[in-house]
Amino acid sequence: MANFDILTELEGKRRYPPPKSLVPDIASYICPLCKCLLELEEPQQCGCGDRACKSCAIAFQKILRKQGLSSGRCPGCGEDISPDKFFPDRAAKRELSKIPVACPNEGCQWNGYYSNYEDHYIKCDYLPTQCVYSGCGEMVAKGMLKRHAEQCQFRPQPCEWCQENI
Protein backbone atom coordinates (compact mmCIF):
# COMPACT_ATOMS: atom_id res chain seq x y z
CA MET A 1 0.00 0.00 0.00
CA ALA A 2 1.21 3.51 -0.74
CA ASN A 3 2.35 5.67 2.17
CA PHE A 4 -0.33 7.75 3.81
CA ASP A 5 -0.62 10.03 6.78
CA ILE A 6 -3.46 8.68 8.89
CA LEU A 7 -3.07 11.50 11.40
CA THR A 8 -3.72 14.12 8.70
CA GLU A 9 -6.84 12.24 7.64
CA LEU A 10 -7.96 12.01 11.28
CA GLU A 11 -7.39 15.67 12.11
CA GLY A 12 -10.39 16.97 14.01
CA LYS A 13 -12.24 13.63 13.89
CA ARG A 14 -11.66 12.63 17.52
CA ARG A 15 -14.23 14.28 19.76
CA TYR A 16 -11.85 14.58 22.69
CA PRO A 17 -8.27 13.55 23.46
CA PRO A 18 -7.69 10.08 24.87
CA PRO A 19 -7.47 9.75 28.65
CA LYS A 20 -4.44 8.45 30.50
CA SER A 21 -4.86 4.78 31.38
CA LEU A 22 -4.24 3.86 35.00
CA VAL A 23 -3.59 0.18 34.22
CA PRO A 24 -0.32 -0.98 32.67
CA ASP A 25 -1.52 -3.81 30.39
CA ILE A 26 -3.75 -2.19 27.76
CA ALA A 27 -1.86 -3.14 24.60
CA SER A 28 -4.92 -4.84 23.11
CA TYR A 29 -6.83 -1.55 23.45
CA ILE A 30 -4.31 0.66 21.69
CA CYS A 31 -5.35 1.63 18.16
CA PRO A 32 -2.58 0.72 15.70
CA LEU A 33 -3.49 3.74 13.56
CA CYS A 34 -3.51 6.67 16.02
CA LYS A 35 -1.50 4.88 18.77
CA CYS A 36 -4.01 6.01 21.40
CA LEU A 37 -6.43 4.21 23.68
CA LEU A 38 -9.40 3.16 21.52
CA GLU A 39 -12.27 5.61 21.39
CA LEU A 40 -15.09 4.26 23.53
CA GLU A 41 -17.71 5.09 20.91
CA GLU A 42 -18.05 1.92 18.84
CA PRO A 43 -14.51 0.46 18.69
CA GLN A 44 -13.98 -1.54 15.51
CA GLN A 45 -12.38 -4.89 14.79
CA CYS A 46 -10.99 -5.85 11.40
CA GLY A 47 -10.97 -9.29 9.79
CA CYS A 48 -7.55 -10.14 11.25
CA GLY A 49 -8.76 -9.50 14.83
CA ASP A 50 -6.95 -6.22 15.48
CA ARG A 51 -8.96 -3.33 16.88
CA ALA A 52 -9.17 0.31 15.83
CA CYS A 53 -11.08 3.46 16.73
CA LYS A 54 -14.17 3.94 14.58
CA SER A 55 -12.81 7.27 13.26
CA CYS A 56 -9.46 5.60 12.45
CA ALA A 57 -11.13 2.70 10.64
CA ILE A 58 -13.18 5.16 8.57
CA ALA A 59 -10.05 7.19 7.76
CA PHE A 60 -8.18 4.00 6.78
CA GLN A 61 -11.04 2.98 4.48
CA LYS A 62 -11.21 6.47 2.97
CA ILE A 63 -7.47 6.50 2.22
CA LEU A 64 -7.62 3.09 0.53
CA ARG A 65 -10.56 4.23 -1.61
CA LYS A 66 -8.78 7.48 -2.56
CA GLN A 67 -5.81 5.44 -3.70
CA GLY A 68 -8.07 3.07 -5.65
CA LEU A 69 -6.99 0.07 -3.59
CA SER A 70 -9.27 -2.85 -2.76
CA SER A 71 -7.17 -3.88 0.24
CA GLY A 72 -4.32 -2.72 2.41
CA ARG A 73 -1.98 -3.88 5.15
CA CYS A 74 -3.33 -3.90 8.68
CA PRO A 75 -1.21 -1.39 10.62
CA GLY A 76 -1.30 -3.73 13.62
CA CYS A 77 -0.19 -7.08 12.19
CA GLY A 78 0.57 -6.40 8.53
CA GLU A 79 -2.05 -8.85 7.27
CA ASP A 80 -3.74 -7.93 3.99
CA ILE A 81 -7.25 -6.69 4.82
CA SER A 82 -10.20 -5.36 2.90
CA PRO A 83 -11.49 -1.93 4.00
CA ASP A 84 -15.04 -3.30 4.33
CA LYS A 85 -13.96 -5.93 6.88
CA PHE A 86 -14.27 -3.65 9.92
CA PHE A 87 -17.18 -4.25 12.29
CA PRO A 88 -18.26 -2.98 15.74
CA ASP A 89 -16.49 -4.76 18.61
CA ARG A 90 -19.07 -4.73 21.40
CA ALA A 91 -16.92 -6.87 23.72
CA ALA A 92 -14.09 -4.33 23.47
CA LYS A 93 -16.52 -1.52 24.27
CA ARG A 94 -17.72 -3.36 27.41
CA GLU A 95 -14.15 -4.09 28.52
CA LEU A 96 -12.93 -0.56 27.75
CA SER A 97 -15.73 1.05 29.75
CA LYS A 98 -14.33 -0.60 32.91
CA ILE A 99 -10.73 0.60 32.48
CA PRO A 100 -9.66 3.12 35.12
CA VAL A 101 -8.42 6.33 33.51
CA ALA A 102 -7.25 9.82 34.47
CA CYS A 103 -7.99 13.16 32.83
CA PRO A 104 -5.15 14.31 30.52
CA ASN A 105 -5.70 18.01 31.28
CA GLU A 106 -2.77 19.54 33.12
CA GLY A 107 -3.64 20.15 36.77
CA CYS A 108 -6.77 17.99 36.80
CA GLN A 109 -6.84 15.27 39.45
CA TRP A 110 -9.92 13.41 38.14
CA ASN A 111 -9.75 9.62 38.03
CA GLY A 112 -12.61 7.38 37.02
CA TYR A 113 -13.75 4.76 34.56
CA TYR A 114 -13.46 5.24 30.82
CA SER A 115 -17.26 5.05 30.58
CA ASN A 116 -17.43 8.32 32.61
CA TYR A 117 -14.53 10.07 30.91
CA GLU A 118 -16.39 11.99 28.20
CA ASP A 119 -18.87 13.44 30.72
CA HIS A 120 -15.99 14.61 32.88
CA TYR A 121 -13.88 15.93 30.00
CA ILE A 122 -16.50 18.28 28.56
CA LYS A 123 -17.08 19.80 32.04
CA CYS A 124 -13.45 19.77 33.21
CA ASP A 125 -12.32 23.11 34.71
CA TYR A 126 -8.81 22.36 33.42
CA LEU A 127 -9.89 21.98 29.78
CA PRO A 128 -7.62 24.25 27.71
CA THR A 129 -9.86 26.97 26.28
CA GLN A 130 -8.91 29.82 23.98
CA CYS A 131 -9.48 33.38 25.16
CA VAL A 132 -12.55 34.90 23.52
CA TYR A 133 -10.92 38.24 22.72
CA SER A 134 -9.66 38.86 19.21
CA GLY A 135 -5.90 39.11 19.10
CA CYS A 136 -5.23 37.24 22.34
CA GLY A 137 -5.33 33.55 21.39
CA GLU A 138 -4.04 32.48 24.83
CA MET A 139 -5.09 29.01 26.01
CA VAL A 140 -6.41 29.14 29.57
CA ALA A 141 -7.91 26.48 31.84
CA LYS A 142 -11.70 26.65 31.43
CA GLY A 143 -12.15 27.42 35.14
CA MET A 144 -9.77 30.40 34.88
CA LEU A 145 -11.24 31.87 31.68
CA LYS A 146 -13.44 34.46 33.42
CA ARG A 147 -10.51 35.69 35.52
CA HIS A 148 -8.28 35.85 32.45
CA ALA A 149 -10.96 37.74 30.47
CA GLU A 150 -11.19 40.38 33.21
CA GLN A 151 -7.44 41.04 32.95
CA CYS A 152 -6.81 40.33 29.25
CA GLN A 153 -5.00 43.15 27.47
CA PHE A 154 -7.17 42.49 24.40
CA ARG A 155 -10.51 42.94 26.19
CA PRO A 156 -12.64 45.82 24.89
CA GLN A 157 -12.05 49.09 26.71
CA PRO A 158 -14.51 52.00 26.89
CA CYS A 159 -13.53 55.03 24.82
CA GLU A 160 -12.70 57.94 27.11
CA TRP A 161 -14.90 60.32 25.05
CA CYS A 162 -17.94 58.33 23.92
CA GLN A 163 -17.79 55.39 26.37
CA GLU A 164 -18.30 52.83 23.55
CA ASN A 165 -16.19 49.69 23.80
CA ILE A 166 -13.26 49.68 21.40
pLDDT for the residue 115: 93
In this prediction, residue 7 carries a pLDDT of 56
Its pTM stands at: 0.74
pLDDT at 3 over 80: no
The predicted-structure confidence for 68-77, as pLDDT tens digits, reads as follows 888 888 878 8
- Condensed to tens digits (0 to 9), the pLDDT of residues 118-140 reads 999 999 999 999 999 999 999 99
How deeply is 18 buried, as exposed, middle or buried, from its count of CB atoms within 10 A (0-12, 13-18, 19+)? Answer: buried
Q: What is the pLDDT of residue 105?
A: 95
Could you give the angle at which helices 90-97 and 114-123 cross, rounded to 10 degrees?
70
CB 146 within 8 A of CB 155: no
**Structure confidence by residue, pLDDT tens digits, 4-63:** 455 566 655 566 778 888 887 888 888 888 888 888 888 999 888 999 999 888 888 888
- Helix (H) or strand (E) segment spanning residue 151: helix 145-151
Q: Which of 42, 40, 75 is nearest to 60 (CA)?
A: 75
